[in-house]
Structure 1
Amino acid sequence: MIYIENNNLDPHYNLALEEYAVKGLDVDEDILILWQNEPSVIIGRNQNTIEEINKNYIEEKDINVVRRLSGGGAVYHDLGNLNFSFVTKNFHSNVNNFKIFTQPVIDALAKLGVNAVFHGRNDIVVDGKKVSGNAQYFYKNKMLHHGTILFDSTLEDIVEVLNVGDEKIKSKGIKSIKSRVTNIAPHLEKQVPMDEFKEILLKFILDTDSPQEKEYKLNDKELKEIEELKNSRYDKWEWNFGESPEFEIQKTKRAEGGLLDIRFSVKNGKIKDLKIYGDFFGDKDVSSLEDQLIGKSYRKEDIEKTLENIEIEKYFYNINKEDILDCLFK
């Protein structure tokens, strides 16, 4: 495994770097990146940005809002949060296997006296409270796994910047965000600053006392391409927010694999302008599934027949055809 040192705090650049690492770098070895963002809300690929954020608070505090490539839910980053990214081969054993990538982080925390465990579909928890959320993105024969580590983050901002929908509150009995998250720092046997914590984690994951020997230095051409990707995608309002069209019908369902939020119009008995939102994970871009449903008759038997020829597991992890039908027609 090699690593890319990244001290940039701009989330637009950092997400461009991640994308370039998985799509543009032609290296055979796995890649590790540890990085931080200035205060930012990072939106999941399939989410409706406007409904996930507290717009007034974000504008007042001048907090960045940037969409990432991977699915899952919105998360808050600040300088008290450390992000880790693995770029590796898209082996079947790696796909949606969050535990295999979180285990090195859990082991490193154990070395520091923190009893962390993997929990749910994609979290690391300490004393029952979340300290890390994780997500994955797949591209050709490669995949990106990335996660957060709440080290000494401002928990009050986490509470204020995000909206928690009624469906999530009903399904999980959530009373407040603050009651279910915590920082790593108070649980350490010996207090260390973020820079030292980052160095400890880097050495542990790379299994070396000399990380510089495993560093991959980006050249001028690669740095230019990352900057171009930042400018063309991650700086754009169209990517980070995008227009949310008006819909006549909204259907939601909390399935094992996450929230489904399907919005569409019906004209002359046929589906139009369909959009699927949610915090689910999946391999394929859900837009191609949307295209296959648009124009179909809004009848359960017709949609069921359409879904028979679609590999739903490619779009959703732990969400099946019956979940989609139940969401559309309940």
Structure 2
Amino acid sequence: MRYIDIKHTDPYFNLALEEYLLKHSDDDEYFVLWRNEPCIVVGKNQNTLSEINVDYVNENKIKVVRRQTGGGAVFHDFGNLNFTFIVKDDGRSFTDFKKFVKPIIGALNELGVKAEFSGRNDLLIEGKKFSGNAQCKYKHRVMHHGTLLFSSDIVNLSDALISKPIKFSDKAVKSVYSRITNISNYLDDSLSVIDFKNKIFEYVTRHEEDKKITYLSDEEIRYIEDLRESKYSTWEWNFGKSPKYNFFNEKKFKGGTIEINIEVKNGFMKEVKIFGDFFGVKDVCEIERALKGKKHKKDAIISELNEFNIDEYFLNISFDEIVSVFI
């Protein structure tokens, strides 16, 4: 097994790294430890917009990226350590989550922290979640990865993932939020997240003949950067891959109430209907037609609405107020 310490903290790069190791590298097995700058990572089968607090994400310039595995959305920051196993499938690995979290539990026990596996994919300390795990399979290989909340900002974590699900009607996988905690709260001795990472590496490699921790080669980095640019940093992957959904929103302004109904498929607005008790000298069906076929994305919506004199369609309702109803 190859043990890799990842210095990159760009989430687009790190999710591309996992795909590279799983699908495009040789048949080696891997154990990888990595961290991300503040970001939200959504599950493969989720509707991204219904999982995130869009306003908070935009205001704080938080990256959002879709991963290869299922499960729910998670918030990463520098206080969260991520681990990844990629192994040859022995016919049992894909259903055996305990196999992969066992060394994590063992390392924590040595640090005086009693952790336990719970449910289908969580690790708990005193009944509180500090790790969520997910898996996927590609040909004859299995990838298992998980989060380890060590010293994460719990407030940011909560704020970033507060969405408004009443706006969405879809069949996408929904996140289930639990009481969470940080590992650092239970340590007798103070450790940094880097110290903790080194403890995990030491435990996992203890009985290996080749304990060398390796880094990515220049060639590997170039390949991963290409995958980052072509896939993991794109709107098409992170938002456009969301399952079909219907979006509904209603807001009341000085000039009246506006209700928006949008049918979205592959991230594009297939049908747009605008209702309300507002006044306007022109018919909003012109705006509906203009938005049809465009991305359900703030920038795209603003670009289209800029072609209209909004006052002629919505009396006493500002441009920014109109935009806010669409997201």
- TM-score of the alignment, normalized to the shorter chain, above 0.5: yes
Partner of 1:202: 201
Size of the aligned set, in residue pairs, is 242
Take 1:143 and 1:243, find their aligned partners in 2: how far apart are those partners?
22
1:216-248 superposed Cα distances (whole Å, 9 cap, x missing partner): 443332221111111111010010011768757
Aligned to 1:160: 159
8 Å contact 1:203–1:210 — kept in the other structure? no
Q: 1:59 to 1:247 in 2, by over 3 A?
A: closer
Distance 1:159 1:125 in 2: 18
Structure 1 residues 140 and 63, CA, compared in 2 at 3 Å: closer, same or farther? Answer: same
2:240 and 2:266 in contact (8 A); partners too: no
1:155-212 Cα deviation digits (max 9, x unpaired) = 011111113758xxxxxxxxx95x710000010121111111110011101116998x
Match of 2:16 in 1: 16
Q: Does 1:137 align with 2:136?
A: yes
Q: What's the C-alpha RMSD, in Å, of the aligned pairs?
A: 2.7
For structure 2, which runs of at least 5 residues remain unmatched after alignment? 167-175, 248-262, 268-327
Deviations 1:77-120 (Å, cap 9, x if unpaired)?
Answer: 00010000001012221012111101110111010011100001
Alignment of 1:1-330 (within 5 A): 1-28=1-28, 30-163=29-162, 177=177, 180-207=179-206, 213-242=211-240
Equivalent AA in structure 2 for residue 200 of structure 1: K
Q: Which amino acid aligns with 1:21?
A: L
The gaps in structure 1 that reach 5 residues or longer are 167-175, 250-264, 266-272, 276-330
Asked if the contact 2:242/2:266 (under 8 Å) is kept, the reply is: no
Contact 2:13/2:225 (CA < 8 Å) preserved in 1?
Answer: yes
The structure-2 alpha-carbon separation of the partners of 1:156 and 1:248, relative to structure 1 and needing over 3 Å to count, comes to closer
Per-residue Cα deviation, 1:254-283 (whole angstroms, up to 9, x for no partner) = xxxxxxxxxxx9xxxxxxx799xxxxxxxx
Q: Is the 8 A contact 2:66 2:237 kept in 1?
A: yes
> Relative to structure 1, is the Cα distance of residues 190 and 247 closer, same or farther in structure 2, using a 3 angstrom cutoff?
closer
Secondary structure in structure 2 of the residue aligned to 1:66 = strand
Task: Report if the CA contact (8 A) 2:46-2:242 is conserved.
Answer: no
Residue 4 of structure 2 aligns to which amino acid in structure 1?
A: I
CA distance, structure 2, for counterparts of residue 44 and residue 115 of structure 1: 28
Deviations 1:30-70 (A, max 9, x none): 21110000000000000000000000011111111000000
Partner amino acid for 2:44?
R
The verdict on how the C-alpha distance between 1:95 and 1:56 changes in structure 2, with shifts beyond 3 A counting, is same
